Amino acid sequence: MTQRYDQKEWDVVIIGAGIAGLTASIYLARAGQSVLVLDKGANPGGRAMSNEMAESRVNLGGHALYKSALPILREVGVEPAGGTPKTTGAFVFKQADGSNKVLPLGQLLLGSFLKWQEKTQLLRFYAKLRKIDAAALHKVRLQDYLASELSSTRVRNAVLALVRVATYCDAPQLLSAGAVVEQLGQAQVMYVDGGWQSLVNRLTEQALQAGVSIRPRSLAREVGGSAPSMTVELKDGTRLTARRVISTAGPAETLALLSPSLTAAEAAIYERLVPVRAACLDLVVSGMPQPKTRFVLGADYPWYYSNHSAVASLSDNPAREVVHVMKYLPVSNETDPAQDERELEGFLDLIQPGWRKHVVQRRFLPRMLVSHAVADAASGGLSGRPGTAVQGRPGMYVAGDWVGPSGMLLNASLASAREAARCIIDGEDTVKEGMHRGA
């Protein structure tokens, strides 16, 4: 399909061809808007792209798709294929003598590691989880909430391990308990056949079919004006005109684009956001020494191990498997990447002794960006995140994992992309900017 970049004015220019940008573009183009999507990379995808490694499709760290994201994906013509990992797994606990113990989930509940009172605490907590009023906990720190509910340190750490895998965040001192309760109540996850690149490819196809133009290697440098007369200047000097603009870049990157800059008060909601990162060791292996060990979490450590090939098709070679190992990093980012890599290798030595002989190809990503914002209690959880409309700049919108009151991670990206598109289609530039719908 021939794409044009030279038309005099676009209805909407979208900065970023990741999942949020592509999703918004499809809604807009189907509503009759002329849409240009800019991306600084050579190909669409952003953090959702997968790389070819040893005949396998390998995501940038371990990605899991919550099935609650499927309705929006289906609306834009994407039906992911893949498998749901089993709920069995194991935890790593640190014992009193300093050694580590790998404990299967079944033994946690049935064995002697936990006392009877601790098992009762854990079971009661999960029994009441779906009955909890999450709205009442949005301004409560997860750390404080768990301390009030669970007196056992070991039980709290087991719960925190499940929180980390659900949110990819190791910041209980910041996280909103209400946001966590909502996230833990989400439906099952799936690992996507072909990696997340298959989602990107399908979204790109749907966007092009709807008439969207996608311009690669086009780094936006400045966004000026306001609706209905806005400009987007590229690094190469190209100047584009548009009636509306959506940025799917991060909050700091978006602020840097705006000319003139937002006032200090307007910018504050973006500047306070704290990003979430992980150290990721991605492996393509020829089997593993302990093939039945497919999923392990650190209880006393922020560790994650999962064999994604156990349920998803990720390689052309049936003898190859894709394994992801991660360390959820503290929000202070005060860690040594070399030490983080050694720590993950030691984790593998514990649960998969002899794993190095099975590695076909490996990649270490020391500070992979997982999300642009912790859903923090101080701001009121999810409802405290920036809305899709930018205060002080009519016609400027944002979308991404840090925007809007709905969901975390990919779910937030999809929901905010749809909402930004809806606002433009409905002509809601007169809505109070910076507030999400219903605020």
SS3 per residue for 51-113: EEECCEEEECCCCCEEHHHHHHHHHCCCCCCEECCCCCCEEEEECCCCCEEEEEHHHHHHCCC
Region 138-156 average pLDDT = 96
b/e per residue 156-192 (b: at least 16 CB within 10 A): bbbbbbebbbbbbbbbbebbbbbbbbbbbebeebbbb
DSSP-derived letter for residue 309 is G
Strands 239-247 and 229-234: antiparallel
Region 33-54 average pLDDT = 96
Q: Quick one: pLDDT band at residue 295, thresholds 50, 70, 90?
A: very high
Digit-coded pLDDT (tens) for 393-434: 999 999 999 999 999 999 999 999 999 999 999 997 744 444
The secondary structure element, H or E, covering residue 180 is helix 177-184
pLDDT of residue 434: 42
Residues 6 or more apart in contact with residue 110 via CB below 8 angstroms: none
Percent of the chain with pLDDT over 70: 96
Residue 63 has pLDDT above 70, yes or no: yes
pLDDT of residue 185: 85
Other Cβ atoms less than 10 A from the Cβ of 10: the count is: 21
Task: Please state, in angstroms and rounded to a whole number, the distance separating the CA atoms of residues 395 and 418.
Answer: 16
DSSP-derived letter for residue 240 is E
**Contact call for residues 213 and 4 (beta carbons, < 8 A):** yes
Is the C-alpha dihedral spanning 104, 109, 111, 114 positive or negative?
A: positive
For 10-48+198-273+375-425, the fitting CATH number among 3.40.50.10860, 3.40.50.970, 1.10.10.10, 3.50.50.60 is: 3.50.50.60
Domain ranges of the chain: 10-48+198-273+375-425, 50-62+276-371, 115-184
Rounded to 5 degrees, φ, ψ at 69 are -85, -10
